[in-house]
Amino acid sequence: MMQIIDKRKYFYVISGVLTLASLVILVLWGLKFGIDFTGGTEMKVKFSQNVPNSAAIYDKLKELNLESLVIKTAGDGMVVVDYRNSNDQTNRDVFGKIKELDDNAVQVSTDFIGSTVSSQLKNSAIEALILAILGIALYIAWAFRKVSRPVSSWKYGLGAITALAHDILITVGVFVILGKFWGVEVGVPFIAALLTILGYSVNDTIVVYDRTRENLLKASAKEDFESIVNRSLNETLARSINTSLTVMLVLFALVIFGGESIRYFSVALLFGVTFGTYSSIYVASAVLVTIYKFQIKKA
């Protein structure tokens, strides 16, 4: 049997450092928001022969005075041009300039989001996150409504929510770093990924807690709370890992083979699910024990 609860100090340190670091960089650097939230255009152009280098394209577009213009090469003769703008005419002008570089260039994809739409998207993203957090909290309260001694239901809820906050914060932290150093932008799909993580990661925690509850009811008086929780964790270890592993396997396949448009969406899910599994094993139950001990000390 693995002594998970016994070693919870180490996991608290690991998780605490990761969560805190994520929070700090989130405040310091912030996420790099994509056009979904800022408004603007992302245009993907395929050049017919030699791809001009970014500097040449930049020179060509300079006179249009585009705000926060970013030019990235995307392989396969493709270049992604990214800028903030608020009207459709600019998009035509930009493509017109690109055509001057290569008359056979093709606009393979365009995403243009006006400022009214982007502010609406931002609002609905915030709305969705609040709704999801409320929904999950209510759900946890409902799932653990049958109070069982010696730990009352809200403590399970607190443990589960701590674990979820941990998963979400670390995933956000990963994307702060991806944004800072690799220019990865977050948009609506990222929010969808966070919500999916919320819904999915809580599953593993519920499985562990269910087992803890079951064992508490059956346990002999000799066994203390700590070791019951530890035993429950060990009993459910294989299913916690295997359920997440199958999901992680398909997400790996999506990240590696799934094409560019959904790559970072899959990356977010992969990180979230991975940390979700970690936290339901090493954090959620540990928090339960800590609350329990704190309660005893006070009493």
Partner 1 sequence: MTLRNKLKTKFVLVILLALIAGLVSYPRVVAKIPPVYNALNKLQIKQGLDLQGGFHLEYNVDLSQVEASKRAEALQALQSIIEHRVNAFGVSEPLVFIKKSGANEVLVVELAGVKDINQAKEIIKETPLLEFKETQVDTSTQIPQETLDQMNAQAPAKAAEILKQAQSGADFSQLAKDNSQDSGSKDNGGDLGMVKEGMMVPEFNKALFDPTFKDGTIYPQVVETQYGWHILKKIATTGSGDTLEVHTAHILIAKATQPSLKTNYIDTGLTGKNLKNASVGFSSQALSEPTVNLEFDAEGTKLLADISQRNIGKPLAIFLDGQIIEAPTVKSALTDGRAEISGGFKTVQDAQALVKSLNEGSLPVPIGDPIYEQHVDASLGQASLMSSLKAGAIGLGIVLLFMIAYYRYLGFIASVALLIYTALMVAIFKLSAFTPWGITFTLSGIAGFILSIGMAVDANVLIFERTKEELRRGRDMMAAVDEGFRRAWPSIRDGNYSTILTSIILVWVGTGFVKGFAIILMLGVVVSMFTAIILVKIILKFTLGRWATDRPWLIVRTKDKKEKDKA
| C-beta of residue 118 within 8 angstroms of C-beta of residue 37 | yes
Nearer to partner 1, 207 or 216 (CB): 207
Taking the C-alpha atoms of residue 185 and residue 191, their distance in angstroms, rounded to an integer, is 12
Q: Quote the CA–CA distance of 30 and 177 in Å, as a whole number.
A: 9
Which is nearer to partner 1, 57 or 269 (by Cβ)? Answer: 269
For the bound state, the minimum distance from the C-beta of residue 118 to partner 1, rounded and expressed in Å, comes to: 9
The whole-angstrom separation of Cα 33 and Cα 178 is 12
List the one residue out of 275, 65, 24 whose CA is nearest residue 170: 275
CB of 270 to partner 1, least distance (A): 10
User: Cβ of residue 57: shortest distance to partner 1, in angstroms?
Assistant: 19
Q: Give the dihedral sign, CA 192/194/197/202.
A: negative
**Between 180 and 263, CB nearer to partner 1:** 263
Taken in order 86, 92, 95, 101, is the CA torsion positive or negative?
negative
Give least dist CB 294 to partner 1, A: 27
- CB 60, min distance to partner 1, A: 19
Separation between Cα atoms, residue 156 and residue 173, nearest integer Å:
26
CB of 250 to partner 1, least distance (A): 3
Q: Which residues pair with 106 in a beta bridge?
A: 46
- Comparing CB distances to partner 1, the nearer of 13 and 134 is 134
Distances (CA, A) of 23 to 17, 105, 213: 10, 43, 33
Between 21 and 199, CB nearer to partner 1: 199
The distance of closest approach from Cβ of residue 129 to partner 1 in the complex, given in angstroms and rounded to an integer, is: 9
Shortest distance in whole angstroms from residue 117 CB to partner 1:
5
Tokens of 31: 């996420």
Residue with tokens 């000799």: 222
Residue 25 or residue 277: which is nearer to partner 1 going by CB? 277
Is 117 or 296 the residue whose CB approaches partner 1 more closely?
117
If we measure between CA atoms, which residue out of 124, 140, 149, 162 comes closest to residue 16?
162
Burial class of residue 73 (count of CB atoms within 10 Å of its CB; 0-12, 13-18, 19+) = middle
Count of Cβ atoms closer than 10 Å to residue 183 Cβ: 11
By three-state DSSP, how is residue 114 classified?
A: coil
Closer residue to partner 1 (CB): 31 or 140 = 140
